[in-house]
Amino acid sequence: MTSNTGPTSDLEHVAALREWARGMTALSAATELVIRAGFAQKSRPWIHYDEDTRRPWIDFDQIPDLCGAMSGGEQRPLRIAASLSGTTPIVLGDEIVGLDHRWTELMRIAIAHAAGFTEPTTDVVFEGDTPTRITVPPLAVWPDISR
């Protein structure tokens, strides 16, 4: 189940990872974080391919054991992504200490994504005793990476 054959281009590979995680906000946020952190290449040991569908998937359970040779700054977003996927417990306070501005921004967006707040939504506010439904903007939006 871990054959390393799948989408041929990097863009197809990333699109296939996003498709694999689509529909599950926490898994999608974790996957997007790994992609945007630059750790979703085909050669990464936590990237696997389903032999039947030839689609890539991320084994988040493996990330903490396989990222040990990386710098602390590289390990933090990977461990946070593994935790967002719902498989790996972390002490968040230990992981966010030392993040630079870019990583902190990605973490903020990933958390909003996992909670389902990267799209406009509705909320209920009370004016006195009267509930009113309002539209609220997204809490965070992934930056355009095509630039």
In a domain, 142, yes or no: no
Of the candidates 9, 32, 10, 8, the one whose C-alpha atom is nearest the C-alpha of residue 20 is 32
Instruction: Report the number of distinct structural domains present in the chain.
Output: 1
- Averaged over 62-72, what is the pLDDT? 93
Tell me, what's the pLDDT at 87?
Answer: 80
Q: Could you tell me the residue range of the domain that residue 14 belongs to?
A: 10-118
**126 SS3 class:** strand
Entry pTM: 0.85
Of the candidates 55, 58, 30, 31, the one whose C-alpha atom is nearest the C-alpha of residue 44 is 58
Predicted confidence (pLDDT) per residue in 76-110, tens digit: 999 999 999 988 899 999 999 889 898 899 999 99
Report the Cα 50 to chain-centroid distance in Å: 20
Predicted confidence (pLDDT) per residue in 6-32, tens digit: 667 899 999 999 999 999 999 999 999
In a domain, 59, yes or no: yes
In a domain, 112, yes or no: yes
Predicted confidence (pLDDT) per residue in 108-140, tens digit: 999 999 999 998 999 999 989 999 999 999 999
